[in-house]
Structure 1
Amino acid sequence: MRRCLIFFSSLIMLLIFISSNVLSIDVTVPRTLKVNEPTKVLFPKNKTIFAPTLETPPFLGSTFHGFKEALAFKESSGNYFATNTLGYLGKYQFGVETLQLMGVYNSSVFLNDPILQEKAFETNIARNKWIMRRDIKKFVGKKIKGVEITESGMLAAAHLAGPGNVMKYLRSYGKVSFKDAYGTTIRSYLKIFSGYDLSLVSPKRNPKV
């Protein structure tokens, strides 16, 4: 009996020792994985959401892929199956009329097809780049209301407000403004989405998915 007590006492002491050493192991997050500053991409208020608003998009740099993921996060928190209170659909929050311009007529099929949504986004960016090609050439590098105009900012704003409204804003130097139903402005998109490299996107006239 005494031997059993000595054995179990020793075993308990050994477990305590091991546990204390395990707890003292350094589990500091590597510097390369830390987020040092908050993202500027914020989810618009009053929208229907399907994920926590405190999430942040992955950092993908200034490439086209980084651009579209940042814009998707702004629009729907990156959710392919989201529908907002105004009926805008999917990861990039397309309206039915815009989809029809690109040859997509079944909103239910669109909402349940992530590959189709990605193709629609790329098609719409190419379409908007064609429509605004002269304004891109004219205004990129200028400042309007304190915001430097970039191609990516213009294309993001066109996704929000349509290329026609963006051109009106630029040509009036900010006097003719636009605000969507949630209070998001062209100026805010021009600022938030500036500096992405979209040179790989070729402008296309009336492209279809």
Structure 2
Amino acid sequence: MRRWISFFCPLIMIFILASFGFKSGETVRVPESLIVREPTPVLYPKNKTEFKTAMVVPPFVGSSFIGFREALAFKESQGNYFTINTFGYLGKYQFGIGTLQLMGVYNATQFLNNPELQEKVFRTNIARNKWILRRDIDRFVGKKIRGVEVTESGILAAAHLAGAGNVKKYLRSYGAVDVKDAYGTTIAKYLKKFSGYDVSEVPPKKNPRI
């Protein structure tokens, strides 16, 4: 009985497979609708703004005075208190020795190693530039020069870059007299880049010192 079962079982399996129409070596056909004959178009949104990455300049703290301060510091030194650039400008806000002396700071090493002092100097310098440029702030804020709206924060940032006297010349010449720093950055660029911050918390002050 066992010999008969072992003999007939393979024959039965062959018969079943043959009845379903499978033949040895037969090629399976792919349906015509599934055959790819040309490149498939890549699907992407027509409005590319959907995929804009939100770029945050660290640290992002809005349009307050702190936001203005940190954005300017990031542009000057990436917020590094202890750096000196190739032209000898110092610290987080890249002050020159001459400007520091105007505010009563004479020790460059002490300044460079004291973040608290650097913050005091920055605020004092803003108050000083506000006083020097107070009439120009009243006169030009809200106007456009070369397509850029003039704001108080833009004026103060430009004064930090090039000095209050050069900013006066720029404003009063309506952009005809512009200057740039040693790296090629212009007053016009800072007026635009740092516009729209609220710097009202620092009052103007004549000849302030630390």
TM range, smaller chain:
0.7 to 0.9
Match of 2:190 in 1: 189
Supply the distance in 2 between the matched residues of 1:191 and 1:77 (Cα, whole angstroms).
Answer: 19
Match of 1:87 in 2: 88
Match of 1:66 in 2: 67
Q: How far apart are 1:59 and its partner, in Å?
A: 1.2
Give the counterpart of 1:38 among 55, 71, 91. Answer: 55
TM-score w.r.t. structure 1 length?
A: 0.75
CA deviation map 1:34-79 (0-9, x unaligned) = x94335xxxxxxxxxxxxxxxx322100000010000000000000
Indicate the SS of the match to 2:200.
Answer: coil
| Gap runs ≥5 in structure 2 | 1-51
Match of 1:155 in 2: 156
Match of 1:52 in 2: none
CA deviation map 1:121-148 (0-9, x unaligned) = 0000000000000000000000001110
| Gap runs ≥5 in structure 1 | 1-34, 40-55
Supply the distance in 1 between the matched residues of 2:53 and 2:153 (Cα, whole angstroms).
Answer: 24
Match of 1:32 in 2: none
Indicate the SS of the match to 1:138.
Answer: helix
Supply the distance in 2 between the matched residues of 1:206 and 1:112 (Cα, whole angstroms).
Answer: 25
Indicate the SS of the match to 1:165.
Answer: helix
TM-score w.r.t. structure 2 length?
A: 0.74
Aligned residues: 159
Supply the distance in 2 between the matched residues of 1:199 and 1:59 (Cα, whole angstroms).
Answer: 19
Supply the distance in 2 between the matched residues of 1:38 and 1:145 (Cα, whole angstroms).
Answer: 27
Matches within 5 A, 1:1-20: none
Q: How far apart are 1:117 and its partner, in Å?
A: 0.1
Partner letter of residue 193 of structure 1?
A: F
Which has the greater radius of gyration?
Answer: 2
